[in-house]
Structure formats: structure tokens, C-alpha cells
Amino acid sequence: MLKIDNLKVSLEEEEKQIIKGLSLTINSGEVHAIMGPNGSGKSTLSSVLAGKAGYTVDSGKVNFDETDLFETEVEERAALGIFMAFQYPIEIPGVGNMNFLRTALNSQRKTRGQEELNAADFLKLVREIAKDLEISDEMMRRPVNVGASGGEKKRNEILQMCLLEPRFVILDETDSGLDVDAMKLVSKGVNKFSSSSRSFLVITHYQRLLNYIVPDFVHIMVDGKIVKTGDKNLALHVEETGYKDFL
Amino acid sequence: MNHVNSSDWYNSLRKEFEEKSLSIEKVNRRSEYWRKSNLDILEDFVQDTSQLDLLDLNGTCLYEPDLIINGDILELVGQKSDQVVSIIDVIADEESFAKNYFGRLEEKSQKLIPRPLARDNTLDPKVGYVLSFSDSSEKPLIIHNKTNTSASNLFQRNLMIVDKDVEVTIIETGNNLSVFNTVTEIYLGENAKLNYLDLTGENNIFPKISHKFCDLAEKSSFNHFGLRLNTKATRTEIELHLNGQGINTSVANVSLLNKKSHYSDENVLINHNAYECKSRQVFKSVLENDCTSIVRGKIYVASEAQKTDGYQSSRSLLLNESSKFLCKPELEIYADDVICSHGSTSSSLDRDSLFYLLSRGVHKNKAKEMLITAFISEALDEIEDESIKSALSNYIDIWISSFSDE
Amino acid sequence: MTDSYEVREVIDKETLSAVKSVGETYKYGFATDIETEYAPIGLNEDIVRLISKKNEEPSWMLEWRLKAYKRWTKLKQPDWALLKIPKIDFQDQYYYARPANMKERPKSLDEVDPKLLETYSKLGIPLTEQKKLAGVIEENYEEKPQDRKVAVDAVFDSVSVGTTFKEELKAAGVIFCSISEAIQEYPELVKKYLGSVVPISDNFFACLNSAVFSDGSFVYIPEGVKCPMELSTYFRINAENTGQFERTLIVAENNAYVSYLEGCTAPQRDESQLHAAVVELVILDDAEIKYSTVQNWFPGDENGVGGIYNFVTKRADCRGKNAKVMWTQVETGSAITWKYPSCVLKGDNSSGEFYSIAITNNMQQADTGTKMIHLGKNTNSRIVSKGISAGKAQNTYRGLVQIGGRSQNSRNFTQCDSLLIGNKCGAHTVPYIEVNNSSARAEHEATTSKVDEDQLFYCMQRGIGEEDAVALIVNGFCKEVLQALPMEFAMEAQKLVAISLEGSVG
């Protein structure tokens, strides 16, 4: 599904290389976790995959199915089925959550040549998901992420994921700032959503999230490269000994 | 007519500037830049100074002066005589290096705002100094003005040049016993830093009109702090030209006025002409007894000045019915990637805070003092040097307590 | 579980679909082919007399106009705004144009030329006594809107074409008619209030208007009456090379209430056209007027050719105690906008509010804002201004908050935000804050920034295209003002916000 081939990425403004030759293949239905110390380039990887400005791809390729990712715009990637759950979800004052969701959903459907969802069906869909994630009506009425706690924002990210039904999901430090209950709730959402046709890339600093979202592969990323790949036990090892073995 | 003893270059500049001055809007009530200003301060009024009981803010009070301007005589007191040249000598000197600087910034600063009084000064300077700084100094340079009643309309003209990487602090104090018009042109080299404190107290019983025009090179820094402690009347015009990347500036002013009809009129224009510069303006006025504070602060951002960060805050505390606060915080922005903001408030002492303090047993005067001190602290925080800041804070605190005991 | 979180959401959806459905940028650019009768070109005393005669005015009105004309010849066009105004030749304009078949004032709408009616229907303003303005979508609203009636006075070039719901309003005691009709039918009221808020020689453009205004609307709400429906005037400039100078006067007696809407469009023409209107509001004890404008005059093309020069003087006089006024404006059109709807808060406890969205794109220029003059005790004012500048446009907020020495315990709050889209435009803020007594409290906050890149990225990561994402964010930026509009206009305005920003991205 996603194939990263010897990717090198620098910060646009500082000419500092952050990702220094990273290769990774993710197939349908697989859950991959990338772990690494702060500053290893994990978040840069997710930003580059989603298409955030401010980075220069020095070399390497990323293919999503047959599509060259670097030839597509941000919103086209979204329509292709790439979804990033933000580490710090953005607040958009004045723009209602419902409006935002519906616009996003219908924009994607339109790009894919599907019919737009009518208001009633849309509402039904959103309510179901919101209920599962224990997101209140009051939260749904608010502007996007405005006045929401850290946990509420992360749940809102998962709600968007469930609604937009992407095929490839990047969870960027989704566990940061969550207490155990919130983490369970978020994981429940993710697990309910996972299927053999969907893949996940879980980016995290700590192992604890991986107790709830169990990875098929765990990659350790240090200084812009994957230095070791293993199964979920690798994560447990890191939890015990830290990253010092890999530095 | 040529100026007495002046050089050819000055005479020709004077001629050129005199002609151009016709196109500079004169001071008038309808002018955007003088609207609601007190034009009386331009009149030369006579007052009996013998009866005045002055709470002094002068050189001896806080610092020993290095340079005294006594009427139209320059007196050097400190060890820094090699840096100082009289402006009268400079305009008489055909070969003075200053001929490339003199008047240029004044001319440049006429572009967006007419400054007729600065032009008058250029055409007829009576006293002043040229200061060149080629080395940093930890100790501030203290300049003390000592005008006397005999001279009227004394035009003081100064030029300051701070070389690359040099950091200096200047503190200007003194009295004002006649109408006083000063223009200071300041050139800051790359990575240079000038901290300028302009302190005026109650012994400034005549209006003081001062202009400061400053050209800033890449990564340089200019921090101006003005203090008006019951100064009779001040009109300040500051214009900064931010010409290189990464410049950092701050202009702050505190006006504490409680003597009948005292007046401060602060005008600041900051021209952002280059990438990634930062400017801050913080004005605080505490007014009582028919006093007026005017603040006109403008941020101009040219289209090439992307990543500008401009901030302005102008706030006043009105302690009795008849005091006035007039404010025009202006933004003119031609670049899109900027963050600019201004905030302005005007109100009396916050009743809830006052009540809270009283309910904790604080005496009323003390509570008032505390709230005033808290109110002006944002402006004082603009002073970087901790020792100067604390000396000044202490001085102001003492002053405030005598102010509220009355 | 409630449905209420969809209530406003539907409006937003409209915005986006409107962007897609509207092919051309300015959809009101068509001209109506109708025979027009003009006064001779240029301006002199005879033209003033002619306009007065065409309107069959009494002599006092003519004298009023002539006085204004004489004053005007001595005034100079103001130049203090941050606008580059091409020289306007006031002698190269027609000051009066009316459809030829409007010579006889139609007695009812049935007598109006179908071509004119068609024009308004094309603009979405059917001049029939139907219950709502076009564009109201009931679907998905939790609370179905009550039977919202909107009475319309349609002004075409220099004359009023017709006014709907007149009879029903009359039964409630409300007078709603064209100002020319009011001068004939209610001369005492007009005499008493006309020019009492904006004096003849108030400013250059108001003075010009006083001399040559041809039509406009008159509203009188008697004591204790709450106007049973929204009133609205729809202004349309059609004739070429013609200035439009309408005059609106609204009087709310003690305890009266009215909500009034104003819309404007003009055909797409290469020549610039002049529009200089005056609006006067008189608000007495405990009365309230809400005045909303959606100004969408032709803005000129992307090279700045053509467009309306919009010089408008609007002022509300809160004469009575507890009087209230609320100005809401959405300014998206015009090549040049020069407009400062103001509030004079004379009555104790009176209050004034100003909500504004000003969008400039391409070569448009706007210098707009408000004046809040606090004279009475305990007066309150609130200013919320949202300026959006794109293309090569210049957008200035200019506002005065003045709290007088005797205006004790008065309050002002001002929030004034600017958004820049692209690096060739400008956004400027020129506030004047003058506080003359210590019991007053004035607060002013202003910000200028560009569309937040993180927000844009977030929207786009969720699959929303860039132009839609910008429209969405800009609508969010304007929300507070849009919500101040009556529902019909809120939708229209949201569409306009999106449409007027077309082509500004990328």
C-alpha cells in the first residue's frame, strides 16, 4: 500500500537534514509502529507523508499504491485515503465542527466521483460515531477543536478518521497528553475501525499505546533512520531499557 | 543667508532644506498629527520659577552626569571627552565625517509624517553634540540638560553613531527652563545596540519637544524608554527605520501626571522595511487633575518586510473626572506574513482589585499605589538592564507614594 | 439528543456550494435593456431644479436642495482616506435617470413594467408580496422559520419602482414608501427629520446628495409599534454613466422597533459609476433600529476597470434614553468604498453597535469603519470589524470612539481584525480613541495576520480543496458579524464572502 524508498528530507529554512535515508513498506491490513527518542524525525515523517509545507524532499520516493505521493496535493492525498491524526489538533475558531466534517467528507467524495451525502444520512453517521467515542453534542456544536481539552481533541481526531474512512492512517503521537481512560477510548475507536484493507502507522515515544493498538511491526527510528525492526516485543524491550541500546 | 561660521556643505544643505520645507505641512489644529494636541506648548510662556518647589529628577539624583549641556554651552564632566564633538564645530568643519549623516534622517522621516519643528531645528541648531561609539561600555553615558531661562527656543541638535557590534546605554536627564526643541539623529551599525532612557521630571516646567530619528542596520537593536514624571508638557516624535533583517526594537513610555493640566504627547512611527524584524511599543499613562496624554503609535510594514512581528499597547489609568486620554494606534500593512496587533484601554482604577486589597487590610493610599505600580510595570519591563530598571522603579515608587499622600 | 447543532451549519454548506455553482465572479453584472430618460449631463442649479420638478416636490424641498448645492460648490472633496481616488469629473455624470415608462408613478406593482420586475427577480428579489426573500432554505432547520415577511422597496437608478406590503404595514401604522412619495404625502415628518442627523453641509458627498438625491426610502414607526415584518430596500444602478444618490430616512418613535435591510448591485460596465448615499436614523426613547447592508456593487474587473465609487454617509442619532441602534454591514462590492456608519449616543443609556465585514479583492479599495460619539450617560458601544484583503486590494478600518466629558460610566469595546491573503494587498487600521472622563471604559483590540497555515493544512489534510478551505476559514473569521445579520442576509452574505474571494488563492 505505502512504499517509502530511501527518503531524505530537510527542513526548508534551515537546510538541516532530518530524515536521512528511510525505507519502509506497509501492506494492507498491517499495523506498523515507529518508536524513537525525541528529535529522531518521527513527526517529520508523518508531516511529509501528509504533505505539510516547510520540508524539502532531498531524495527518495514515496508511493501510495501506484501514486507518487510527492506529485499530489495535500487534499488529494486525503481523498486517496491518507489520514493523519495530528499530535496537536488545530483549532479553527468560527468554523463549526459539523460544518467542517461535512465539508471534508463531501469534498473527498466529490474528488472520488462519489455522490455527496445528504444532511440526514450525514447526521446519522456522525451521531453513531460520536456516541461510540463518548463525544458530547455540546462538543459537536463547538467550532473545530476550540475550547476542547487534550483528550477531547484526540477523540475528535478519531471521530474524523471513522467518518472519513481512510485506508491509511497515521497516528502521530496520539497518546501524548492522554490519561489511561482516554487512551483506552481512543484505542477502542481505532481497533473498531481497523480491517484487512486498512493500514496504520503509529508514531509514538512510549510503548504504552501499543498495549492497546497492537502492532505487527515495530521500527526503532534514530537520527532519521530506522535502526531496528522487530515485532511487538521490541517495543517492550524499549520500554524496559530505553533507547540507549540504539544510540 | 549663510549661518555664521558654517561650512559650505552645511550652507548648501540648509538652502536645500529650506526650500523643501515649504512642502512640509505646518503645525495646525486640523493636521492629522496635531489633532487635539496642545498647541500652546509651542508658545514661549514666562513663568516665575523662584517659587517652585521641585521634586527633582536630575543627573545628581540617579546618576552622575558625564556630559552637561548648560544653555548653549557643552560641558564635559566624565572621561569620555574623546567621543564628543560640538555640533556647532561640526557644521563649521568642511571635512567633518558628519556631513554624510547630518539632516539625512530628518529628511527621511518627513516622508510619512510632516515634522515642521524638526525642520526648523535643522535650519538653526544652537547647541548639541556628535557622539560616536566604537567600543561597548557597561556604564551608561549620562547626559544632563541644564537650560536656563535666558535662552528661548533653544534648538538642540545631536547626532549619534554606534558602530557595528557596539552596545551602549544613554540616560538623558535634566531640566527645562525654556521651550526646548531637540532633534537627535541616530545611526546603528550591524548588530549594534542602543538603550536610550529619556527621563524628565517636574523640573521640566517648560515644554520639551524632542525628536529622535533612528536608522537601524541588520540585527541591531534600539530600546527607548521615556519617563514623564509630572513634566509640564512634552511632545515626543520618534521614527525608526528598520532596514536590515532581524532587528529588534522597543519603545516604551510612562507618563505619570497629576499637576494641573500637565500634558504628554507621544508619537511613534516604526517602519518595518526588512525581513523578520520585531518591534514593541508600550505606553502607560496615569492621569489626574485635568492632565492629558496623547499617544499616536504607528506600525508601517512594507511589502518586503515579511515575518514582521509588531506589537503595540497603549493604556491609561484615569484617576479623576477631568483627565483625558487620546490614542491613535495605527497599522499600515503591505506584507501578508506578519503578526501585528495593538491593544488600547482606558479606565479608572479597577474597583474589584481595590476592594480586594482593602479587604485584606491594605490602606487606601497604599492600595492605590500598588495598583498604579502594577499598571506601569509592563512598560518598565521593557528596560533590559536590571540595575537601571530597579533604580528607576524605586525612584518611581517613592514618587508615587508622595503623589498619593497629597 | 437534539438537532440544534445543525442549525447554522446548513448556511455554511450553502456557502461552499455557492462557490461552485456560481460560474462568473460577479453574477449581478447583467444590464437591463430598458428605455431610460436622463436629465442633461452635468450639474448646475437647473439640474437641481429639474430633479425637484421631476419628483413634483414642494418649494421648501427645492430651496433645501438649492441651499445644499450652493454649499457644495464651496466644498472640497476630502482626501484624508487611505484611498487612491481617480479624479472624478462631477460635470461628466448624469444626475437623474429613470425608466421612461415610470413617468407616471405606478399605483400598484401590477402596473410596473414586467422587464423591471424581471430584473429584480433575476437578482433574487421578487417584487411580489410573498413571504420570504428567495434563498431561504427551510430544510434541516430545527425551528422552522416563522412566517417571515419582508417588505421591499426597489430603487432602480433614480426612482423607486415599487414597495410591497404597503397596505399591511399601513394597518400597523408603519409608513414605508419611497422618499419622493414621503415628501409629497408626509411633508411635516420629512421636514422635521430630514437633515437633522446628517446636516446639509456635513461633508462633501453628503452635501452633494442633499442637492441631487432623487429617491430612496422613508420609514416611520409610530410610538409603541414593533414593525410586523422586516423592511428592505434594494438598490440597483442600471443606466450608464449615472450617479445614484439615494436618501434614506428612518424614524423610530418612542418604544418602536424596526429591522431594515439594504442590498445593492450594479451591472458590469467599463466606466466607473458614482454612488453617494445618505442614510439618517432617528431613534427616540426606548426605540430600536437594526440596519443591515449587503453591499455588492460591481467591484470593477481584476484590472481595476469600472466599478462603483461608493461614498456613503450613514448616521444614527440615538436621541432618546435607552435608544438602541445596530449597524451591520457586509461590504464586498464597489471599486472604492468610503463609508463610516456612525452612532451619536445622546440619550442616557443609549447603545450603538457596529458589525462589519469588508472584503476587498483584485484592485478594490475600501476605507470603512464607524464613529461612536458618546454624549449621554451610561452609553454603550461595541465595534466588531473584520477586514479581508486579497489580490492587490487595499483595506482600511478607520474608526473613532469618542467619550465626552459628561458621558459618565460609558463603555466601548472594539475588536478589529484584518486578514491578508497574498502579498500584494494591504490591510490598515486607523482607530482614534478619545476618552475624556475617568468613569468611562474603552477597550480596543486589533490584530492583523494572514490565513493561518496550520488551519489551512488541517482542512486540506481532511480533503478540502484550498479555495474552499480559505472560504471556510474566512467565514469562520467573520462569524461574529455574519451572526448579527438577519437570517436571509446571513446566507446571502456567506455566499458573497466566498464568491468575492474567488481567484485570490494560488
Residues on chain A touching C12 (C-beta within 8 angstroms): 95-96, 99, 103
- Kindly tell me if the per-residue pLDDT of B62 is higher than 90: no
The residues, ordered by sequence, that sit 6+ positions from C166 with a Cβ below 8 Å of its Cβ are C151, C176, C177
User: Which DSSP symbol is given to C173?
Assistant: T
Q: Which of A50, A51, A102 is nearest residue C9 as measured by Cβ atoms? A: A102
Residues 427-456 in C contacting B (C-alpha not used; CB under 8 Å): 427-450
Domains of chain B: total? 1
Q: Residue B252, SS3? A: strand
Q: How far apart are CA A16 and CA C157, in angstroms?
A: 64
- Each residue of B313-330: pLDDT tens digit? 999 999 987 899 999 999
What is the DSSP annotation of A144-155?
Answer: ETTT--HHHHHH
Chosen from B289, B299, B334, B371 to mutate, greatest number of chain C CBs within 10 A? B334
Q: Does C459 touch chain A (CB under 8 A)?
A: yes
CB contact under 8 Å between C434 and B324, yes or no, is yes
Question: What's the confidence (pLDDT) of residue B295?
Answer: 96
Give the mean pLDDT of C35-56: 86
A167 contacts A81 by C-beta, under 8 angstroms: yes
Q: How far apart are CA B92 and CA B9, in angstroms?
A: 9
Give the mean pLDDT of A220-246: 90
Return the partners of chain C (3 or more C-beta pairs < 8 Å). Answer: A, B
Task: Read off φ and ψ for residue C102, nearest 5 degrees.
Answer: -95, 10
CB contact under 8 Å between C446 and B342, yes or no, is yes
- Kindly tell me if the per-residue pLDDT of A97 is higher than 70: yes
Scored b (16 or more CB within 10 A) or e, B316-338 reads bbbbebbbbbbbbbbbbbbbbeb
- Kindly tell me if the per-residue pLDDT of B104 is higher than 80: yes
- Kindly tell me if the per-residue pLDDT of C439 is higher than 80: yes
- Kindly tell me if the per-residue pLDDT of C30 is higher than 90: no
Question: What's the confidence (pLDDT) of residue C131?
Answer: 47
Nearest CA among C456, C454, C455, C429 for reference residue C444:
C429
Question: What's the confidence (pLDDT) of residue C378?
Answer: 96
Q: Which of C9, C461, C476 is nearest residue A92 as measured by Cβ atoms? A: C476
Q: Does C9 touch chain A (CB under 8 A)?
A: yes
Residue B387 CA: distances (Å) to CA of B23, B62, B79, B221: 46, 12, 22, 19
Question: What's the confidence (pLDDT) of residue B177?
Answer: 67
Instruction: Work out the mean pLDDT of chain C and round it to a whole number.
Output: 84
Which of A183-187, B200-204, C70-74 ranks highest by mean pLDDT?
A: C70-74
What is the DSSP annotation of C151-168?
Answer: EEEEEETTEEEEESSHHH
Q: How far apart are CA C157 and CA C215, in angstroms?
A: 9
* Rg, chain C, Cα only: 22
B96 contacts B104 by C-beta, under 8 angstroms: no
Instruction: Give me the amino acid identity at C26.
Output: Y
B346 contacts B318 by C-beta, under 8 angstroms: yes
Q: How far apart are CA B61 and CA B41, in angstroms?
A: 27
Q: Which of C13, C460, C472 is nearest residue A95 as measured by Cβ atoms? A: C472
Strand-pairing partners, residue B299, are B270, B331
- Each residue of A125-181: pLDDT tens digit? 999 999 988 888 888 888 889 888 888 899 999 999 999 999 999 999 988 888 888
Q: How far apart are CA B230 and CA B176, in angstroms?
A: 13
C442 contacts B347 by C-beta, under 8 angstroms: yes
Task: HSE, CB side, 13 Å, CA atoms: give it for residue C194.
Answer: 26
Q: How far apart are CA C268 and CA C29, in angstroms?
A: 4
- Kindly tell me if the per-residue pLDDT of C433 is higher than 90: yes
Question: What's the confidence (pLDDT) of residue C27?
Answer: 67
Q: Which of B325, B332, B334 is nearest residue C435 as measured by Cβ atoms? A: B325
Task: Read off φ and ψ for residue C9, nearest 5 degrees.
Answer: -65, -35
- Number of Cβ within a 10 Å radius of residue B51: 6
Residues on chain C touching B337 (C-beta within 8 angstroms): 423, 450
Question: What's the confidence (pLDDT) of residue B404?
Answer: 59
User: Which DSSP symbol is given to B204?
Assistant: B
User: How far is C302 from chain B, CA to nearest CA, in Å?
Assistant: 19
The residues, ordered by sequence, that sit 6+ positions from C304 with a Cβ below 8 Å of its Cβ are C335, C362, C363
Through-space distance between the first and last CA atoms of chain A, rounded to whole angstroms: 30
Q: Which of C418, C428, C441 is nearest residue B347 as measured by Cβ atoms? A: C441
Q: Does C5 touch chain A (CB under 8 A)?
A: yes
Q: How far apart are CA C356 and CA C316, in angstroms?
A: 16
Residue B287 CA: distances (Å) to CA of B264, B364, C341: 10, 18, 32
Nearest CA among B317, B339, B340 for reference residue B329:
B340
CB contact under 8 Å between A137 and C472, yes or no, is no
The residue to which cell 453628503 is assigned = C206
CB contact under 8 Å between A92 and C458, yes or no, is yes
Residues 289-308 in B contacting C (C-alpha not used; CB under 8 Å): 303, 306
The residues, ordered by sequence, that sit 6+ positions from C312 with a Cβ below 8 Å of its Cβ are C205, C275, C276, C277, C278, C279, C337, C338, C339
C349 contacts C379 by C-beta, under 8 angstroms: yes
Please state whether at least 3 CB pairs lie below 8 Å between chains C and A. yes
Q: B135 vs B149, which has greater pLDDT?
A: B135
Question: What's the confidence (pLDDT) of residue C404?
Answer: 94
Question: What's the confidence (pLDDT) of residue C126?
Answer: 61
Q: How far apart are CA A203 and CA B152, in angstroms?
A: 75
CB contact under 8 Å between C428 and B338, yes or no, is no
CB contact under 8 Å between C4 and A141, yes or no, is yes
Question: What's the confidence (pLDDT) of residue C399?
Answer: 95
- Each residue of C62-116: pLDDT tens digit? 999 999 999 999 999 998 999 998 898 888 888 888 777 666 666 666 777 777 6
Q: Does B318 touch chain C (CB under 8 A)?
A: yes
Burial class (CB in 10 A: 0-12, 13-18, 19+), C419: buried
Task: Read off φ and ψ for residue C439, nearest 5 degrees.
Answer: -80, -5
- Kindly tell me if the per-residue pLDDT of B149 is higher than 70: no
The residue to which cell 436571509 is assigned = C488
CB contact under 8 Å between B329 and C80, yes or no, is no
Q: Does A99 touch chain C (CB under 8 A)?
A: yes
- Each residue of C361-375: pLDDT tens digit? 999 999 999 999 999
Q: Does C92 touch chain A (CB under 8 A)?
A: no
The residue to which cell 476618552 is assigned = C435
Q: How far apart are CA C302 and CA C391, in angstroms?
A: 9
Q: Does A89 touch chain C (CB under 8 A)?
A: yes
Q: Which of B306, B324, B343 is nearest residue C444 as measured by Cβ atoms? A: B343
User: How far is C324 from chain A, CA to nearest CA, in Å?
Assistant: 27
Q: B102 vs B405, which has greater pLDDT?
A: B102
Return the partners of chain B (3 or more C-beta pairs < 8 Å). Answer: C
- Each residue of A39-62: pLDDT tens digit? 899 989 999 999 888 899 999 999
Chosen from B309, B336, B352 to mutate, greatest number of chain C CBs within 10 A? B336
Instruction: Give me the amino acid identity at B370.
Output: M
Residues on chain A touching C141 (C-beta within 8 angstroms): none
Residues on chain A touching C9 (C-beta within 8 angstroms): 96, 98-99, 102
Q: How far apart are CA A27 and CA A2, in angstroms?
A: 7
CB contact under 8 Å between C457 and A74, yes or no, is yes
Question: What's the confidence (pLDDT) of residue C127?
Answer: 64
Nearest CA among B126, B228, B116 for reference residue B172:
B228
C80 contacts B32 by C-beta, under 8 angstroms: yes
Give the mean pLDDT of B82-111: 90
Residues on chain A touching C16 (C-beta within 8 angstroms): 103
Q: Does C462 touch chain A (CB under 8 A)?
A: yes
- Each residue of B177-197: pLDDT tens digit? 666 889 999 999 999 999 999
CB contact under 8 Å between C447 and B341, yes or no, is yes
Q: How far apart are CA A246 and CA A224, in angstroms?
A: 13
Task: Read off φ and ψ for residue B215, nearest 5 degrees.
Answer: -105, 125
Q: What is the CATH number of the domain that holds A216?
A: 3.40.50.300
Q: Which secondary-structure segment (H or E) carries C424?
A: none
Q: Residue C450, SS3? A: strand
CB contact under 8 Å between C437 and B321, yes or no, is yes
Residue C54 CA: distances (Å) to CA of A86, C46, C97, C176, C181: 68, 12, 10, 21, 12
Residues on chain C touching A86 (C-beta within 8 angstroms): 458, 461
Domains of chain A: total? 1
- Each residue of C188-243: pLDDT tens digit? 999 999 999 999 989 999 999 999 998 889 999 999 999 988 888 887 777 777 78
Task: Read off φ and ψ for residue C210, nearest 5 degrees.
Answer: -60, -35
pLDDT band at B154 (very low <50, low <70, confident <90, very high): confident
CB contact under 8 Å between C463 and A127, yes or no, is no
Our measurement of the distance from residue C468's CA atom to the centroid of its chain's CA atoms, rounded to an integer in Å, reads: 27
Please state whether at least 3 CB pairs lie below 8 Å between chains B and A. no
Q: Does C453 touch chain A (CB under 8 A)?
A: yes
Q: Residue C216, SS3? A: coil
Return the partners of chain A (3 or more C-beta pairs < 8 Å). Answer: C
- A104: containing domain: 2-246
- B57: containing domain: 8-346
Work out how many CB contacts closer than 8 A connect B with C: 119
Scored b (16 or more CB within 10 A) or e, A80-117 reads bbbbbbbbebbbbbbbbbbbbbbbbbbbbbebeeeeeb
CB contact under 8 Å between C5 and A98, yes or no, is yes
- Kindly tell me if the per-residue pLDDT of B54 is higher than 60: no
CB contact under 8 Å between A102 and C4, yes or no, is no
B154 contacts B127 by C-beta, under 8 angstroms: yes
- In a domain, residue B275? The reply is yes
Q: Does B332 touch chain C (CB under 8 A)?
A: yes
User: How far is C414 from chain B, CA to nearest CA, in Å?
Assistant: 9
Q: Does A164 touch chain C (CB under 8 A)?
A: yes
Q: Does C91 touch chain A (CB under 8 A)?
A: no
Scored b (16 or more CB within 10 A) or e, B234-272 reads bbbbbbbbbbbebbbbbbbbbbbbbeeebbbbbbbbbbb
Q: How far apart are CA A163 and CA B37, in angstroms?
A: 62
**Minimum CA–CA partner of C452 in chain A:** A92
CB contact under 8 Å between C475 and A94, yes or no, is yes
Question: What's the confidence (pLDDT) of residue B137?
Answer: 87
Strand-pairing partners, residue B203, are none
Nearest CA among C142, B202, C125 for reference residue A120:
C142
Residue B194 CA: distances (Å) to CA of A197, B187, B271, B284, C497: 65, 10, 18, 22, 47
The residues, ordered by sequence, that sit 6+ positions from B363 with a Cβ below 8 Å of its Cβ are none
Give the mean pLDDT of A185-211: 90
Q: Which of C10, C16, C478 is nearest residue A103 as measured by Cβ atoms? A: C16
